[in-house]
Structure 1
Amino acid sequence: MSFLSSLFGTKSQASDKITILDKREYANAITGNKVLLVDVRTSGEFNSGHIKKAINIDLFNAANFQKSFEKLDKEKPVYLYCRSGARSQKAAKKLVGMGFSKIYDLKGGYMRWS
């Protein structure tokens, strides 16, 4: 990506399907709505604390990650988060590759949430 395209916001196909939300936007989107809320951290991290109603699908457990998301409706919005935002961005890109089209990621991850 060139400097000018990054400056003026040229989006890739993947970024058209991934929206990064700040804490307030994310909270508004998931509160009172039936959404698929996925924590992509390890089970140990998840058990140490997570957002209410989140399910844990560990990005680092590749076989389970793939299998778990293959069972889900690709047309429904998916809300992802991790510790700081790096893993959830990787997970979001994987989901785009699997055919998901409405992916929301928590900016700053669980560290910003708590």
Structure 2
Amino acid sequence: MADLSQEAWMEQLSDDENAVILDVRTEEELEELGMIPNALHLDIYESQEFMDEIQKFDKNKSYYIYCRSGVRSGQACSILNQIGIDKAYNLLGGFIEWEGDVVTK
């Protein structure tokens, strides 16, 4: 797992052809605040569904993960590392510090 500043996260993401953006917040947070464009949503609090879905992830891809503040996404990165996904990048500060584009559901 790597914790990246917003600037480093965005820069690395833009140069990564195998990138997947993963939003691990709740559905309520998504509806209230929106999300980063092209992000896949998978609520980490729905633990069984979360575990089932990440088992299907391509281990050759890079996962750029965020939540509201950076704590849950850090946990998600650790979980991905445990199942053999080495390229998991946590957005430090999370969505509340995000300055890029946002889409609403």
Question: TM-score with structure 1 length normalisation?
Answer: 0.78
Q: CA RMSD in A?
A: 1.4
Q: Specify every segment of 5 or more residues in structure 2 that has no aligned partner in the other structure, as ranges.
A: 100-105
Give the SS at the match of 1:72. Answer: coil
- 1:64 Cα deviation from its structure 2 partner: 0.9
Residue in structure 1 matched with residue 72 of structure 2 by the alignment: 87
What is the aligned-residue identity percentage?
33
SS in 2 for 1:53: coil
Letter in 1 for 2:23: D
SS in 1 for 2:85: coil
Question: How far apart in 2 are the matches of 1:80 and 1:102?
Answer: 10
Between 1 and 2, higher relative CO (CA 8 Å, sep ≥ 6) is seen in: 2
Structure 2 equivalent of residue 8 of structure 1: none
Q: Indicate the structure with greater helix content.
A: 1
- 1:22 alignment partner in structure 2: 5
> Runs of 4 or more off by more than 4 Å in structure 1?
none
Which letter does structure 2 place at the counterpart of 1:95?
A: L
User: Number of residues paired by the alignment?
Assistant: 97
Q: How does 1:23-42 map to 2 (within 5 A)?
A: 23-31=6-14, 33-34=16-17, 35-42=19-26
Matches within 5 A, 1:1-114: 18-31=1-14, 33-34=16-17, 35-48=19-32, 49-114=34-99
